[in-house]
Structure 1
Amino acid sequence: DTERVLAALNEGVVPIVAGFQGINEASDVTTLGRGGSDLTAVVLAAALKADMCVIYTDVDGVYTADPNIVPAARRLEKVSYEEMLELASLGAKVLQTRSVELAAKYQVPVVVKSTFQDGPGTLVVKEDADMEQVLVSGVTGDRNQAKVTVVGVPDQPGIAGKLFGQIAESSINVDMIIQNVSQDSLTDISFTVPRADLTRSMSLVQDVAKAIHARSVEVNEAIAKVSMVGVGMRSHSGVAAKMFQALSREGINIMMISTSEIKISCVVEEKYMELAIRTLHHEFGLDAKNEP
């Protein structure tokens, strides 16, 4: 209901709306969770049919990588909703994921600016033809991952369904999955989950592993996910090959791979995450050019 906000605006009053708080179905005041203010801002902009939504934060825009990892990272002038959504879900903490989803749904242009300094910021908008000319828009990393491997699983129909069905019922998000068929009609199934969900995942997986007579369950927490995002991947081939070759030259082994239309992710040893990000950032021409 925007009636009160509109009434205040019509009277020349600037209304202040709590960004991090809301009312639930029981009419109790509650918090909206991390990034709730981003969500409130976009919802208000959509409801009020504003020309755009400007979000002031502690950074001056969306960067091609974390400047703390890649000193040569540069601010993007413009990024698509789809790219921003991928970057947000992959670990970039500039905007809350749900706020980007709603901005895309209601076609609300979002500008990310710094609270502490003037600048144009980054415009998050609907994809246009110019954006597809850029192969990769950003490289990001996520250390908060763990790899679980169920060893010696019977290679039979329905086994994977039992395993992942239990995990899904517990609302645990499984990200990357790989299956390696071995001898004796057995297979190894590996997947990644957020580290915060590892203990719950292991409890469920060990029970299922016992029921399906798997040999063992192994865990590797010393991993990280490195991802590249760019709408240009849709119309250009050879991106994955170039990515893998660049990592190989640095001696970085790839454990798992996941792809979508505009994203390529791979799992590497955690100790190599920052090197992998810097390598890919340079390989795909994202480094800022030094001014003479």
Structure 2
Amino acid sequence: MALFVQKYGGTSVGSVERIKKVAQHIAEFYRQGHDLVVVVSAMSGVTDQLLKLASQLHPEPSEREIDVLLSTGEQTTIALLSIALHALKIPAVSLTGAQAGIITDGRHTRAKILNISPKKIKELLRLRNVVVVAGFQGQNIEGHITTLGRGGSDLTAIALAAVIHAQCCQIYTDVEGVFTADPRIVPTARKIKEISYDELLEMAASGSKVMQARSVEFAKKFKVPFEVRSSFTNAAGTIVKEEVHTMEKVVVRAVSLEPNQAKVTILGVPDKPGIAAKVFSRIAEAEINVDMIVQNISDHGLTDITFTVHKDWLKKALVALEPIVSEIGAREVRATEGIAKLSVVGIGMRSHSGVAALLFSALAEAGVNVQMISTSEIKIAVIIDEEVGKKAAQVVHDAFKLDQFV
């Protein structure tokens, strides 16, 4: 029989009744003779509730204490799920991230996994226990609790699957798999049977909330195929795997829309070597993730530099740039909110022409103005007004006939 790693998200374990259903599902696998490591998130809403409590006590709580606080959400779930399994006569043992041997760097609230020592997990599996592990968390070399950031439970599951050489890693969530677009935005979106790591990475970077990019990167690096599927149905999900030649037959696999973006433009920048380095070094020091970057053609020795960030980082970016504007001799900084990023993704773009032409024609016919353009080998992304984002996503989805996707 196979060794499974299964991950259940917050909505899957969002109530006692749902925890019971998850326990019954796990019990079925166990009784078939499979070995199981189960990774769980905090119950839906718990993390937000804990953060709200912290904010009522301090406007800027210590990140170390936030990690200690948030880790209790997953620890509650592992205990409850283990108890539910015991009620079904299934031997189960819960482990925190630290007990599972997950060692991270020292960065609180967004730590990176450095190493995993699965000795305890393997010992419990040998004794035919279901091992229930708290996702999203680990321990640094000094013994402090750390958390892995958004989507950290997915990362926990895939990392464990890699180190224990699981035959199958299943990511159970509240959707049936990866779709050609967000069905809440594009009602005609279809489920994708299989997708490459690179395509899902581009989708994650373009606003898809199905999987955290770091999790997919880890899976690609260690060649861990996994399935994204629903915890509420028995329908097959989407297999995420290494690229195979037949995947290139699909030119565009999906459309992604990422709202809540902001645009920052530095006007009148001297067009000299090293200026851009100074600007983005300051942004990097503030630990702000920049997405798209455009620099205009020089005019009389001056140029404009424009980049996008998530709108939640806009204020921090402006603060970081304030002292450097006069330092580099720029004229001013302008910020624009209310924009979104629309992307089309597909490894078939490498070997098929006409993708850009069809994309821009569809947007033009719908009256959607393009503000910025960025491309990669398998993606074209544009910045548009947020208010027309849903309309644009549907139009582009229709143009590439993704509603006929199989």
Query: Shorter chain as normaliser: what TM range?
Result: over 0.9
What whole-Å deviation, never above 9, does each CA across 1:210-253 have from its counterpart, x for those lacking one?
22332221111021111111111111122112111111111111
Give yes or no for the alignment of 1:259 onto 2:375: yes
SS in 1 for 2:133: coil
Measure, in 2, the Cα distance between the counterparts of 1:2 and 1:184.
61
Measure, in 2, the Cα distance between the counterparts of 1:274 and 1:3.
48
**What residue identity is the alignment partner of 2:305?**
I
Measure, in 2, the Cα distance between the counterparts of 1:249 and 1:214.
38
Alignment of 1:128-167 (within 5 A): 128-167=244-283
**What residue identity is the alignment partner of 2:316?**
R
Which residue is 1:217 aligned to?
333
What whole-Å deviation, never above 9, does each CA across 1:114-162 have from its counterpart, x for those lacking one?
1111111000000101111001111111112111111122222322222
Aligned partner (choices 56, 69, 86) of residue 202 of structure 2: 86
Give yes or no for the alignment of 1:286 onto 2:402: yes
**What residue identity is the alignment partner of 1:15?**
V
The answer (yes or no) to whether the contact 1:233–1:239 under 8 Å persists in 2 is yes
Which residue is 2:7 aligned to?
none
Shift of 1:178: 1.4
Which residue is 1:109 aligned to?
225
What whole-Å deviation, never above 9, does each CA across 1:182-232 have from its counterpart, x for those lacking one?
643322221112212111211222322222332221111021111111111
SS in 2 for 1:16: strand
Measure, in 2, the Cα distance between the counterparts of 1:19 and 1:172.
25
User: Which segment is superposed worse, 271-280 or 201-210?
Assistant: 201-210
Give yes or no for the alignment of 1:95 onto 2:211: yes
Alignment of 1:14-33 (within 5 A): 14-33=130-149
**TM-score scaled to structure 2, two decimals?**
0.68
Measure, in 2, the Cα distance between the counterparts of 1:239 and 1:284.
9
Shift of 1:266: 0.5
Alignment of 1:245-256 (within 5 A): 245-256=361-372
The answer (yes or no) to whether the contact 1:139–1:277 under 8 Å persists in 2 is yes
Higher relative contact order (CA 8 A, sep 6+): 1
Shift of 1:34: 2.1
Alignment of 1:52-91 (within 5 A): 52-91=168-207
The answer (yes or no) to whether the contact 2:338–2:386 under 8 Å persists in 1 is yes
Measure, in 2, the Cα distance between the counterparts of 1:20 and 1:212.
41
The answer (yes or no) to whether the contact 1:136–1:284 under 8 Å persists in 2 is yes
Aligned partner (choices 106, 120, 132) of residue 236 of structure 2: 120
RMSD (Å) for aligned C-alpha atoms: 1.5
**TM-score scaled to structure 1, two decimals?**
0.94
5+ long unaligned stretches in structure 1: none
Aligned partner (choices 272, 284, 296) of residue 168 of structure 1: 284
Aligned length: 289
Which residue is 1:184 aligned to?
300
User: Which segment is superposed worse, 202-211 or 121-130?
Assistant: 202-211
**What residue identity is the alignment partner of 2:152?**
G
Give yes or no for the alignment of 1:43 onto 2:151: no
User: Which segment is superposed worse, 200-209 or 67-76?
Assistant: 200-209
The answer (yes or no) to whether the contact 2:283–2:320 under 8 Å persists in 1 is yes
Measure, in 1, the Cα distance between the counterparts of 2:148 and 2:299.
50
The answer (yes or no) to whether the contact 1:51–1:108 under 8 Å persists in 2 is no
Measure, in 1, the Cα distance between the counterparts of 2:178 and 2:129.
32
Which residue is 1:3 aligned to?
119
**What residue identity is the alignment partner of 1:81?**
Y
5+ long unaligned stretches in structure 2: 1-116
| Residues 16 and 186 (structure 1), Cα distance of their counterparts in 2 relative to 1, 3 Å cut | same
Greater fraction of residues in helix? 2
**What residue identity is the alignment partner of 2:367?**
G
SS in 1 for 2:269: strand
SS in 2 for 1:74: coil
**What residue identity is the alignment partner of 2:171?**
I
SS in 2 for 1:17: strand
**What residue identity is the alignment partner of 1:111?**
E
User: Which segment is superposed worse, 108-117 or 176-185?
Assistant: 176-185
Give yes or no for the alignment of 1:231 onto 2:347: yes
